[in-house]
Amino acid sequence: MSRLALVKKGQFTVATGNPAYPPWFGGSPAKGSPWKISDPTSGQGFESAVVYAVAKQLGFPKGSVHWIAVPFDNTYKPGAKNFDVAVEQISYKPARAQNVDFSDSYYKLNQALVAVKGTPITHVKTLAELKGHKLGVQLGTTSYDTVIAIKPNQKPAVYSSSNDVNSGLKAHQIEGIVVDLPTAFYITGSGQVPNSVIVGQFPTKKNPEHLGMVLSKGSPLTSCLNKAIAAVKAKGALAQLTRQWLSTKVSVPVLK
């Protein structure tokens, strides 16, 4: 640990968004906590648990992991970083990787469609049928790329935050929202959008979308982080955390 190049000596500084949402994060923030919705320091939720597993592999005790709030689209901008790693459901994209380092994958991701029960879009079975509907996405996410790839008749509405996307659906500004599948389960299961359902998931790509931890471009910590992730995978701990926090008992149809 002492040999690692860190933003602050002896401390593993991890950035994520605030609010931090389930199922990626969990635990209720204590009174006076700056964290909203969930508390990344709890070790609960998939990404929080993965961070602590990787940090332990690197030699950091739980108390030396320090969390800071950084907006999603600031994590992969060029320039100096005030964090060692950022963990915020950040999908690898070649354009992003020009500005920052990405760790090896810790989760393969599918995108899904969420809509309000009983609306016409919920009867969609194919991507061709989906083209005629107005969709919404969060700014800076790969959900936008997923929508554009189907060549919709209308450009997707782009919102600055996940809260805004959800509000757009509730206000009927859009007919459906595209998000990653675990988040879709959270939206529909938590009541974030009342009476919402997962219509389906998008087909798995030849090169599946995957999440990586973000580091400064050329960070000497990248190779160490990759070795730690590989060790956590080899022990079976990553698979166990995936089952614990992200597994679902519901089969979601694929939009063909």
Amino acid at 16: T
Q: Residue 144: which residues within 8 A CB-CB, separation 6 or more?
A: 137, 156, 158
171 contacts: CB under 8 Å, gap ≥ 6: none
Domains and CATH numbers, the chain: 12-107+208-246 (3.40.190.10), 111-201 (3.40.190.10)
Residue 19 pLDDT > 70: yes
Q: Please report the sign of the dihedral spanned by the C-alpha atoms of residue 32, residue 37, residue 43, residue 49.
A: negative
Residues 188 and 198 sit within 8 Å (Cβ to Cβ): yes
Residue 198 · residue 121 · CB < 8 Å:
no
Q: Residue 2: what pLDDT?
A: 46
Distance CA 73, CA 70 (A): 8
Written in H, E and C, the secondary structure of 166-217 is HHHHHCCCCCEEEEEHHHHHHHHHHCCCCCEEEEEECCCCCCCEEECCEEEC
Q: What would the pLDDT profile of 174-214 be if each residue is shown by its tens digit?
A: 999 999 999 999 999 888 999 999 999 999 876 788 999 99
Neighbours of 222 (CB within 10 A): 19
Average of pLDDT values for 225-240?
97
pLDDT at 90: 95
Looking at the chain, the whole-number percentage of residues with pLDDT higher than 90 is 87
The predicted-structure confidence for 109-149, as pLDDT tens digits, reads as follows 899 999 999 999 999 999 999 999 999 999 988 999 999 99
